[in-house]
Structure 1
């Protein structure tokens, strides 16, 4: 019988679809809600916890009240022991730290938590390397290497852990970035520390890697190619990242490095769009395409830093209208692995599976599989 802790950061990722590039701090949370953001971390966590229903006889689950875990477990049909107390609708990072600290004192077999890099930092503050943990990705920025590939995979990994198929653990990096600088287009990441996670590389994402000078020539060529190939009378949704920023530069257009921009007939239609703005705009265009890049070291195409391009946006645009561009070095660094997607919608994740042509140079492409 395994004893499992479960903690949900109910506001993790709330700023993603409304273009705020994070959810750290009361002011950002307030602004996100004013912009119409909805809490999605619990919905993602539910995917994982439903998978654990199959092995509930082998589990004792400890969780925190209400939106910090209890609600998700009840909805998944799981029996739980509820610890601590919260002020509903007003949870804070300190609640996460208190929850993880109490679970560490109980010496549980594993603490499962839901959030992003900020949440991982809170967990680290509480448990250090003394507890085994695993993250369910739900944040805007997930640079750390302590998260499962997606909520579905987290459930599969937990089943293997509970059943004794995964016994070894390893230390993985917790990274975090300055969100204020991030909103200004500056990525300032630092190593915050290490957490201990199950040693199963098939199901855990890699640490996000940065861009090196060796990529410059490849990005120069592929961005020229993508810019030159853009069709007339097509609305292009241009995703986040330095690679897509280079494409915008070739078009001589201003760019929101960490936001989503819209281009039509080589002119900027809108910049730094929210999910709602994308859905409203694409209704007025007959042909729409999405240009995105790949997260270095991890292989994610959707669901990491570009949540504005949501599952609903992707459904309306269509799988066949997705253009992926990434430097050759970035693709080779995946060591033959797959691209990944984590939109928060299982149906869309499955729909996106298959092989994609990834542009890596001028007229040069590589074929890679996408998995959910």
Structure 2
């Protein structure tokens, strides 16, 4: 290879995000992955990595990929026609975090220019444990939990950043935090996130996500106004099912309704009464098919994601059935201000759906008070 060829490391966690649509709240652990597979959950990490690599398809002659065998990278790069070198072979079909670390160690030895990896916060932790600040990295979001700042906002965005790096358009690097939460506590409705390190990521402010801003909203008066508006809508549409998404803002609405709430899951309400709790993707579809329905969701503070982060139960099929007109986005104006002008983001896993949802989105910010806020078209 010529010295001008970009040396790209690639690691895919094949099981990243496998528990999301089934409301398993994570993919860490042999038992969780086995349960997800037994329930028929598809492995989507390779498809999402493919979306990233598609953005550099015209730059194949300028890049050589160093990757692990099988689903950890080789299968995908071979199918896409990239030149590659195999640097690691996992011993078991069901790969573990230790395989990610071993692959990262082997890639590090190749002195690559950048490591692209696909997964969630657990994968980022594994990569950080080996790489630390020894080379630049870029994450393709494919997991259930994406709190870390090392990930691009969508798989396509990761590819666009990568294309700019390969072409020498991005030269500066930022330190980004690697965050993760305790999945066992997460499944009990508690978020215990902490920093596990930092890694270097190429800078492109439109495409690299911020670290999630945690904590409950402090302005209870504003939240009460938002809750009152949602409850008025419920009274106006008594025949509708209301899908209540995850997050502290939606949780406040449920508290005002006097209903038990799955803080980190998805619940179903009708006539201001709780119908079902902590539903997975298929259960949601089964409940609402052929029924009128509205969806109540909020955004992740500091990032702007409304879909694809912690609410994978809201499948593309469900979202298409609900329709944009029946999506109620709720947020305080201070939460919108925290985006510093960045648009809302949908990373539903369906490119056409994300494009269809793009444009101005009404956001309920108080009682009879809403603002139009842009939802990005990242196609």
* Normalised-by-shorter TM-score class: over 0.9
Written as runs of structure 1 = structure 2, the 5 A alignment for 1:36-51 is: 36-51=40-55
Secondary structure of the structure 1 residue equivalent to 2:85? strand
Match of 1:237 among 230, 238, 243: 243
Match of 2:152 among 140, 148, 153: 148
Question: Which portions of structure 1, spanning 4 or more consecutive aligned residues, are displaced by more than 4 angstroms?
Answer: none
Number of matched pairs: 371
Q: Is residue 323 of structure 1 aligned with residue 334 of structure 2?
A: no
Written as runs of structure 1 = structure 2, the 5 A alignment for 1:124-163 is: 124-163=128-167
Report Cα offsets for 1:19-46 as digits up to 9, x if no partner.
0111111111122223332111111111
Secondary structure of the structure 2 residue equivalent to 1:366? strand
Secondary structure of the structure 2 residue equivalent to 1:249? helix
Q: Is residue 23 of structure 1 aligned with residue 35 of structure 2?
A: no
Report Cα offsets for 1:131-154 as digits up to 9, x if no partner.
100000011110110101101111
For 1:117, the equivalent position in structure 2 comes to 121
CA–CA distance in structure 2, aligned partners of residues 239 and 133 of structure 1: 32
Match of 1:274 among 280, 292, 297: 280
Q: CA deviation at 1:212?
A: 5.2
Report Cα offsets for 1:74-101 as digits up to 9, x if no partner.
2222221111111353101000001111
Conservation of the 8 A alpha-carbon contact between 1:262 and 1:271: yes
CA–CA distance in structure 2, aligned partners of residues 4 and 127 of structure 1: 14
Match of 1:166 among 164, 170, 184: 170
Secondary structure of the structure 2 residue equivalent to 1:83? strand
For 2:184, the equivalent position in structure 1 comes to 180
CA–CA distance in structure 2, aligned partners of residues 169 and 95 of structure 1: 27
Secondary structure of the structure 2 residue equivalent to 1:214? coil
For 1:263, the equivalent position in structure 2 comes to 269
For 1:350, the equivalent position in structure 2 comes to 355
Q: CA deviation at 1:213?
A: 5.4
Q: CA RMSD in A?
A: 1.2
Conservation of the 8 A alpha-carbon contact between 2:262 and 2:277: yes
CA–CA distance in structure 2, aligned partners of residues 35 and 218 of structure 1: 41
Q: Is residue 359 of structure 1 aligned with residue 364 of structure 2?
A: yes
CA–CA distance in structure 2, aligned partners of residues 179 and 290 of structure 1: 26
Q: CA deviation at 1:62?
A: 0.8
Report Cα offsets for 1:262-295 as digits up to 9, x if no partner.
111222221111111112222141x111110000
Provide TM-score, normalisation by structure 2: 0.95
For 2:95, the equivalent position in structure 1 comes to 91
Conservation of the 8 A alpha-carbon contact between 1:259 and 1:272: yes
Provide TM-score, normalisation by structure 1: 0.97
The runs of 5 or more residues in structure 1 that have no matched partner are: none
For 1:310, the equivalent position in structure 2 comes to 315
